[in-house]
Amino acid sequence: RENEQRARKRKMRLLTHNMLSSNIKGVANGFPLRIEVEKVVEKQVDFNADFLKNMFAKIEWKALVDASRSMGYSELPGDANPAMLDSDDFLQKFHHALLELHLEEGALVCPETGRKFPVNKGIPNMLLHEDEV
Amino acid sequence: IDLEQYPTGPHIASRMLYTAENSFGDVSDKVVADFGCGCGTLGLAAGLLGAQHVIGLDIDDQSLEIASINADDLELDMNFVQCDIKNFRWRDQIVDNVIMNPPFGTRKKGADMDFLSVALKVASQAVYSLHKTTTRDHVKRTALRDYNASSAEILCELRFDVPCLYKFHKRKEVDIAVDLWRFVPQNSQVKRL
């Protein structure tokens, strides 16, 4: 029972998803991976405005919006610009999508080939088969 | 055996992470990746020192399982990805710093250099890595000339106790001298010391 409770904490944040790309041979642009959700978990994390402002420039915004919507969160604006970082409301939403939504079970799907990379206990398996390398 | 997994001892992990944080501010509030994370020692140490987001990468199921349990025990949020570092594709430079204890390349020559090559493409600020002291010149030359490093500094020399884990170890216990390196990639956004 205790192991079950522990296992439930394992999950993948959308910040990680924003870095991952399909690495299958022949794929021109494997980013972003589509998310197939089986289980989403929400977990609160301390808010850090400076961190968010730094991350904003590096994040692929559209990928984050689409990913958060597939996880059931639709509060992020479709387009964003740096001026929005002055708004606490915007920062809170950005914080929530980036750091507090976690994929526990599901799959990440290559946008070009449709190949599914399974996510189990929050860990995506990006290992390629021999013919994909 | 093919993967050549030597656990990172706590004294080495502390040394690496404390130096990274106290001398360079490279840990707290940063996005840190632990390449070849094994049981997660380095990544978890980064989490304990205030890294905002830590990702551990490893190829091996069992290591990742143990690493997940370790993260749960410490109540740290650490993300893990199962992959082969050599053919893994990242979106460039979203990670601030890479910390790693790569396989030394005793069985598979040059494995640590493969890791270093990828690390320098992924990190936007710095890479902390351990390499055998005997390969010191080779590491420096290759990093600067071939891997896009703008600087390659040795922070200190450490001794790594490797007990006789595998049959191919001839002596009972092997004591390996390793260098703790800090590399800075070209186009880094951080001022160098």
Residues A67-115: pLDDT tens digits?
Answer: 999 999 999 999 999 999 999 999 999 999 999 999 999 999 999 999 9
Rounded distance between C-alpha atoms, residue B42 and residue B47, angstroms: 9
pLDDT band of B103, cuts 50, 70, 90:
confident
Q: Which residues contact A45 (CB under 8 A, 6 or more apart)?
A: A95, A99, A100, B77
Per-residue three-class SS string for chain B? CCCCCCCCCHHHHHHHHHHHHHHHCCCCCCEEEEECCCCCHHHHHHHHCCCCEEEEEECCHHHHHHHHHHHHHCCCCCEEEECCHHHCCECCCCEEEEEECCCCCCCCCCHHHHHHHHHHHHEEEEEEEEEEHHHHHHHHHHHHHCCCEEEEEEEEEEEEEEECCCCCCCCCEEEEEEEEEEEEECCCCCCCC
Distance CA B188, CA A81 (A): 24
- Cross-chain residue pair A126–B82, CB shorter than 8 Å: yes
Instruction: Give pLDDT tens digits for A33-75.
Output: 999 999 999 999 999 999 999 999 999 999 999 999 999 999 9
The interface predicted TM-score (ipTM) is: 0.91
Alpha-carbon gap: B162 to the closest alpha carbon of chain A (Å): 29
> Which of B83, B92, B96, B118 best tests the A interface by mutation, with the highest count of A CBs <10 A?
B83
Eight-class DSSP state of A122: T
CA distance B27 to chain A (A): 12
Q: Do A51 and B52 touch (CB under 8 A)?
A: yes
The per-residue pLDDT for range B136-158, each reduced to its tens digit, is 999 999 999 999 899 999 999 98
- B-interface mutation test, from A123, A128, A129, A131, most B Cβ less than 10 A away: A123
Q: How close are the terminal C-alpha atoms of chain A, in Å?
A: 40
Q: Which chain A residues contact residue B69 at CB under 8 A?
A: 6
